Chain A
Amino acid sequence: MNQNGSPTLQQWITRSVALYQRLLIFYPPAFRRAYGAQLTQTFRDQCRQAACEHGLPGLFSCWMSMLTDLASNALAERLTEGYTMSRAAFTRLAGGLTLVSIVLLIPILFITHTPPFTYGGVVYVVSNSCDISATRFCLQTFTSEGVAYTTSGNVIGFMVVSAPYYGSVFPFVAKLFAACCFAAGLLGVTLAQRSWPGRLSGGLALLGQVGTILFIFVLGGSSFNALHVSRLYALTLPQLWGVLLPVSSLALGLGLIICGLVTFKAGALGGWKGALLLLGLWLGIGNAGLWWLQWAHPLLYLEGTGFVWDAWGTSSFWISLGFTLYALISYALWGWLGFKLWAQKTPPEVQIQAALG
């Protein structure tokens, strides 16, 4: 410290180097082991020279260039080396991601049906640009009255119809991300299984979820109507997507039920074996019933709950209460599954390679 009590230049350098050493965690372990000491030494030399020539501003400049260097090279090195993770670690990560998906749903409940332009015009334009791209990929889409029309000349009209219901890109991004997080959770469920029926059924549920993601993306996640897919809409969709919706829904529910039964019977996953079964039963049977009452897919009532929230008082009290409770209990089961996956500690260490590069 100098006389004013502020750190000296040398102390700033020492702190910078210490922080840089921590940031090296972003490089793959093998690269870190081979070059970590040299990276640190070189950064220390650069800091010393920059501080010597230009003082603190020089050190700051050194940091700025180092951060871009770190970001680009750590990412490139990760992509080159691929990502290696033990099965146990991945299962825990999958559980954490599943919990993240639940956390993401909470704001969606409240903001999806807020007045338009909540997040400003720019975000709205970006949101609708995504929407146009997505809906163009599909042959047909629908107005809020359920009338089908082609997107070729009516994209703008569709936007106008959708605008009052959608004011931000956040629900689209958050919903898609939540869907991907839940898919990661299902991959964790599959990998945590030791028997082939467990793996097969887990994979079935995972496929169902992938179908959901495709559905959300292709139909335009930011489109109000596409996300409020009812049985009527599903039946009038272009053939492929019309089939994908019920099939993915069925696969998700059935997969989880069978996977839960296998887990329950084998006792393979310790204390959380009931979570899968309950979630599968709840999503499968509950969803089948709800489908006839407008709601189609487990992930679609993420927004559906918000809709019911809005419609409270205009719909039948018991129907509104039923929808809301159904969604909330589903979230709770979903969260329970995520927590139990996250708490897993015992699966064998089997290396899985997710080569990205």
Chain B
Amino acid sequence: MLEPVSEAENWLPLTPAVFAILLALAGGERHGYGIIKEAEALSRGQMRLGPGTLYRSIKQMLSAGLIEEASERPDPALDDERRRYYRLTHLGQRVARAEAERLERLVSQARARNLLGGIGAGQPEALGGAS
């Protein structure tokens, strides 16, 4: 069962980098480069985190308790043992969900104002449907 998000909403809005890291870790534990690749894939190549941005964000998120370092690596046999893996904490999951809901509300507003096409749009042709 989903938990209330009121506490989590104190962290909003998140920066794009932090949200991308939370999203990447929502799929499971990952090391730094794994997070970068996953964030890039999720954003279809639009979000390219640099090492500095990644680890500054990780530092902040660790101190805020949004993520934690995983004590065990998913597959030690296949990986460099010097790599550190990170995973979402309970708070991190709630914050990610709260941010996703916030963005969803914004997207709904955009849709209601005919900025987006598709289901629910009042006049989908307004954004390029008409030619």
Contact = CB atoms under 8 A, between A and B. Distances in A.
Do A and B pair up? The answer is yes
Greatest chain A CB density within 10 A among B33, B59, B80 is at B33
Chain B contact residues (Cβ within 8 angstroms of A): what range?
Answer: 10 to 19
A315 interface: no
A46 B59 contact: no
Contacts of A46: 33, 36, 51
A66 B50 CA distance: 6
Interface residues of A, number: 22
Chain A interface secondary structure, helix, strand, loop or mixed? Answer: helix
A34 B32 CA distance: 14
A39 interface: yes
Contacts of A45: 33
A334 to B, nearest CB: 40
B48 A41 contact: no
Contact of B50 (A35, A38, A69, A76): A69
Interface in B33-64: 33, 36, 48, 50-56, 58-59
Greatest chain A CB density within 10 A among B48, B52, B55, B80 is at B52
Interface in A5-62: 27, 31, 34-35, 37-39, 41-43, 45-46
B84 interface: yes
B28 to A, nearest CB: 18
B55 A39 contact: yes
A38 B80 CA distance: 12
A38 B56 CA distance: 12
B51 A43 contact: yes
A69 B59 contact: no
A65 interface: yes
Contacts of B33: 41-42, 45-46
Contacts of B90: none
Given A45-B33, A46-B33, A38 B55 contact: yes
A259 B82 CA distance: 55
B83 interface: yes
Interface in A91-114: none
28 contacts: A27-B52, A31-B55, A31-B56, A35-B55, A35-B58, A35-B59, A37-B82, A38-B51, A39-B55, A41-B82, A41-B83, A42-B33, A42-B36, A42-B51, A43-B51, A45-B33, A65-B48, A66-B51, A68-B50, A69-B50, A69-B53, A70-B50, A70-B52, A72-B52, A73-B50, A73-B56, A74-B52, A77-B56
